[in-house]
Amino acid sequence: MPEISIITPSYNSSKYLNETIDSVLNQTFQDWEWLITDDCSTDNSVEILEKQTDSRIKVFKTEKNGGAGHARNISLENATGRFITFLDADDFWEPNFLEEMINFMKSENTELAYSTYSRCDENLNPTEIGNFEADTIVNFNNLLKTCRLSLLASMYDSRRVGKVYFPEGTKR
């Protein structure tokens, strides 16, 4: 069983998908599985995903477009890692993202970790740094209700909080 499950919804993401794949494959922490659910893409996203030969990458396909929440939930249902993190198919991580997150979670014995992030334009130039300041102790359930941090810059311990599923029905 891998330590980390990476959850990714994909929909018409071919423009950035290779960079996303490279950012996961080049992580300094390698004990992960990557569950990607394609939500009826009409571009060549599925072909790019199906070319991947790394056995840690698992690709699922929806029968009809159900939105990002639905795609994430399919991946979550199949996730086996203790720690869950999220990455959209058009985003990418710094090479040490997983290592720093998992080390922090273990050293602090916490159920949730989050980090800053950068938003980029379509040419991948940073346009904004997303910072989040919270109280020293954050209650996970309250955080879900008033979330101001990026899902894509966070990780949680599924043994402590269970798998957290997404609302469905909101389509792209």
Q: Residue 143: pLDDT above 80?
A: no
Cα separation, 138 vs 112, in Å, equals 8
User: Of the ranges 37-41, 89-93, 129-133, which is most confident?
Assistant: 37-41
Q: Is the pLDDT of residue 146 over 90?
A: no
> How do residues 68-118 score in pLDDT, each as one tens digit?
999 999 999 999 999 999 999 998 899 999 999 999 999 999 998 888 766
Question: Does residue 13 carry a pLDDT above 60?
Answer: yes
Instruction: pLDDT band for 153, please (50, 70, 90 cuts).
Output: confident
The confidence score (pLDDT) of residue 152 equals: 74
Place of tokens 């090479």: 95
Residues forming beta bridges with residue 60, ordered by sequence position: 37
**pLDDT reported for residue 128:** 61
pTM given for the model: 0.86
Specify the CATH class of 4-161 in words: alpha beta
Going from N- to C-terminal start, the domains of the chain cover 4-161
pLDDT band (50, 70, 90) for residue 138: low
* DSSP category for residue 28: S
Percentage with pLDDT > 90 across the chain: 67
The whole-number pLDDT of residue 148 equals 56
Work out the pLDDT band at 2, boundaries 50, 70, 90.
Answer: very high
C-alpha dihedral over 146, 154, 106, 135, to 10 degrees? -30
The terminus-to-terminus CA distance of the chain in angstroms comes to 33
Nearest Cα neighbor of 27 from 108, 97, 120 is: 97
